[in-house]
Structure 1
Amino acid sequence: MAVNPSIITRDLDKVAEKSGNLYESLHIVAQRAKQISLATKEELNNKLSEFASTVDNLEEVFENKEQIEISKFYERMPKPTNLAMEEFMDDKVHFRNPNIDSEEE
C-alpha cells in the first residue's frame, strides 16, 4: 500500500461524513491504527526473534547486518495512523456502532 508519509491536511467535513460524526470517525481511525500497530509490532518481533541470542557477554555479541536492515525497513514504513486514515478515507475499514445497530433490529 503506497501511502504518502508526509503530513496531509484533511477536510474534517469529509472525515466526519464517513460515520456521521467527526469524533466517531477519529475513534474508528485510532482503533484501526492500534490494530495495524500491534500487527506490525508482532511481525517485527517475530523477524527479530530469529536473531535472538542468549549470550550476554559483550565480546561475543556482534552487529547483525540483516537485523539492522529489518529494523530500518520498519522505521521507514508509514505510521499506523497514516495507514489507518488512508484506509478509512478509501472505505477499506468496516465499522459499525453496536448501539445503533441493536436499536434498528
Structure 2
Amino acid sequence: MSARALDVEKIQDTTGNLYESIVIMAKRSRQIAAREKMELDEKLRYFEGFEEEDEFSFNEEQERISKEYEAKSHPVVRGVGEFLDNKVAYRYPDNQ
C-alpha cells in the first residue's frame, strides 16, 4: 500500500467537520474488511475436513483463493476512495 496525499479541505467539505469525515471513512473501511474476511473464511471453510489423499490440488485452490483476496487493494484505500467519490451514505444517530 503506497502513501498518497489527500486534500484535507475536500475531506472536510463533505461533512463540515474533518474528524467526522475521518470517522466515517474508518467505519466504512472496517465494514469492507469485515465483509471480505467473512467471504474469505466462507470460501476456505469448504476445504476443512477433507482427507489428505488429494491434498495437493486442495492446497493449490486455497492458494488461488488467498491470492485473489491479497491482490485487492487495502480496505482503507477503498473506504477513503468511496468517501471521496461520495459513494458512502451516512447518517447521524437520533439524539434521544
Q: Which runs of 5+ in 1 are unaligned?
A: none
What is residue 15 of structure 2 aligned with on the other side? 19
TM-score, scaled relative to structure 1: 0.78
* Partner residue, 2:75: 80
2:91 pairs with 1:96: yes
The total of aligned residue pairs comes to: 93
> What is the identity percentage for the equivalent residue pairs of Structure 1 and Structure 2?
40
The CA deviation at 1:72 is 0.8
Question: What pairs with 1:1-105 in structure 2 (closer than 5 Å)?
Answer: 6-53=2-49, 60=52, 62-63=55-56, 64-98=59-93
Gaps of 5+ in 2: none
Cα deviation, residue 98, structure 1: 2.5
Alpha-carbon distance between aligned partners in 2 of 1:78 and 1:7, rounded to the nearest angstrom: 13
The DSSP-based 3-state class of the residue aligned with 1:15 is helix
| CA distance in 2: counterparts of 1:45 and 1:80, whole angstroms | 16
Q: Deviations over 1:51-84 (max 9, x none)?
A: 11266xxxx3834101001001111111111111
Tell me how far 1:7 sits from its aligned partner.
2.8
Q: Point out the structure with the larger helix share.
A: 2
Q: TM-score, normalised by structure 2?
A: 0.85
